[in-house]
Structure 1
Amino acid sequence: MISYDFTGQTAVVTGGTRGIGAAISMALLKAGANVVAVYGGNREAAEAFAAQSGDAADRLQLACCDVADYAQAEAFFANFDQGHDRLDILVNSAGIRQDGVVAMLPEDAWRKVIDVNLTGTYVMSKLAVQRMLRNRYGRIIGITSPSGRIGFEGQANYAASKAGQVAFIKSLSKEVAKRKITANCVSPGFIDTDFIAALSPEQLAAYKAMVPQKRFGRAEEIANAVLFLASEESEYITGTVLEVAGGL
């Protein structure tokens, strides 16, 4: 992985203890950042992640928060403010899938995916921006998906949430650009994490066949893209989507 130095910076990573989010949290820790890894409720997985932080354990904080719940998010940031005097980086990595064809998709499956993936991005970004404005600096990164651009059968709710996330980030980027805050998306393709582990072997084979590179990506490859957009070197990049999808 390319070497970055985030010493003295503080990052909040939602969905930061599992899958792609965990890889991002770990990469930021290794680069010297203070990281608050937010998880939705799986305390066991969060503690297992923390156990892997090694010498960086003193710079890692775990926080349980439903990112789609505005009151919980406000409480999270109130607690954050007590221990941190600035917020430099927000990575909106929290995301869920509840697949089903539209004709049979339960209403709660639609709402839950939209709430976590899209509303969660709005809630966390709004509250993060309020803090970044104080220091006239910040990096906001949304983890979206090619599904929002291509659309996959049985994932209308997920695709809609990810397309909306891109549109949200593009609009936000224009609102905060003059304050030296950037907002971008990273769009991972099929990544070898537990997010796709529940798919059938046939579906996994079909998805792999769609990728021009004929392999699934690694979470560390996504983390590398995120760290670039989170760095000071990416200052003139905002309102864009970085595809890390093997050519998908």
Structure 2
Amino acid sequence: MSLGAHLVELRNRLFISALAIVLGMVVGFILSDFILSALTQPIADLAAQQGREASLNFTDVSSAFDLRIQIAFTVGVVLSSPVWLYQVFAFVMPGLKKKEKRYALGFVCAAVPLFLAGCVAGWFVLPHMVTLLTGFAPEGTTALLTARSYYDFVLKLVLAIGIAFVLPVFLVILNFAGVLSAVAILKSWRIAILAITLFTAIATPAADVMSMFLLAIPMLLLYFAAAGIAWLHDRRKRRAMESLDIELAV
């Protein structure tokens, strides 16, 4: 294809992706009441647990509408992710070799469900984070949370845990690319356990040990699963090299 043809194809795929996001935003705007109610539930629980006033506040005239647009855009991106991920993959795929296509397809198929699972886990620990962080305020104070800042906090927390669930996939990709060996991954198991434990301890209050373990166990399993896949790949590559050396020696 010529450069012009590539640009036309890129335009068409961007248009399809944008249309899918807009349609997802319509659905997200319709569901914004339900989502906003779910977002404010941890604040209501906070008020009941700590025995003080806590509320979500809209500080200007357009902030309520802006928050609904933010919610609609987030939902639109998530709902349309199969469409725009496919468009990105379909645009890049013709330029990849057969082996690279397998790696890219495997990465997408593994990363997407893991990311969504991490987002669900992030939603699970959200009430604990709200309780923990607002608990540092002195007694007798009122928790007046700005709607936009609160939503940004929720979004960053959910995305952070979602990305944390995808990190083992990056370890496997680095191993397949020859950058990181399985031995190096396994040697770092103590650091990985410490980092995951600290991360889950921060994400859940110290009194709720069960929630910490429920978040830490799948992350540890994913880490060791990545190490196992890397070990199998290294062993297969080593055997292939040994077979090649024997053939050259003969």
Shared fold per TM-score greater than 0.5: no
* Bigger Rg, structure 1 or 2: 2
The structure richer in strand per residue is 1
Question: Normalising to structure 2: TM-score of the pair?
Answer: 0.24
TM-score where L is the length of structure 1: 0.25
